[in-house]
Structure 1
Amino acid sequence: MAEIKIFNHPRPKKSVLPPLPKKRKTEHKIEEINFDFEKRADYLTGFHKRKVARVRQAQAEAGKKAREERAELRKTLREERKKELEQHVDAVNALVGNKTTSDNEEENGEDVWGGIEDGAGQELVDHEEEYVDEDRYTTV
């Protein structure tokens, strides 16, 4: 038969240091609770007040942004009108410049119109005609 051996586990070694003290959970004792009803009311009503303040602030910023956009729009319109005016002035000056050059050509001796000549091709009108309407009498 086989010998039955009982295996014994070795004993744990004891520490040379003394055992650590168990930490107890210290309860923080509150001496007294003072409940301020005014601060509670301010806190509870503050949600609405802060929300209203945010809305007002957003409206003010939106109004300011809208004013700035309108000012920018007016500025761009002024600039565009100024450019259009300059282009128009340049075009008119170019037309006037072309006329002055054609006037200069005429002064050089090319087909200058002298106006209506007196007496050469005019017929004298020596007669009068009378027109009678229902209630008017006209002499031409």
Structure 2
Amino acid sequence: MGQLSSSPPPPQAVELRRWTLSEAADLRSLRASLHEELTGDVLGEGEALAEVPELVALIATELATNALRHGIPPTIVRLLATDDYLILDVADHDLGSLPQLAEARPTGDGGRGLELARALSLDVGWYATSTTKNIWASFPRSEHLTPT
């Protein structure tokens, strides 16, 4: 497994919303809440998201799952925005490990969150603060999104 290269924090952005997760059961409400934040609409049962909100929700779920499985809780997910970009920032409190890419794992063995983030977002990186290890991913800010 390779390591994700460290990077500076994402560009200065306004925090739109923050979620604190303590267990995997919190992931469902994270997806629904992200959808509502990005579109202004409540996600109906079985309803699909538009492309950018779906990508943001997918990557948020994948990165938060990694943080819950491999990090030290609580996991903090923040949705940030600049004029041109949406940025997900997912933090856990395990400063003793580095983000690992699971390139050598067979498909179906899990651990693909970082690869998905690298493939589906504009940019991805990680950085550490004095208390957290943060993974971030950026997405185009679409005119179809109406964050509050």
Normalized against structure 1, the TM-score is what? 0.16
Give the number of the structure with larger relative contact order, counting CA–CA contacts within 8 Å between residues 6 or more apart: 2
Q: As a proportion of its length, which structure holds more helix?
A: 1
Normalized against structure 2, the TM-score is what? 0.15
**Structure with the greater alpha carbon radius of gyration:** 1
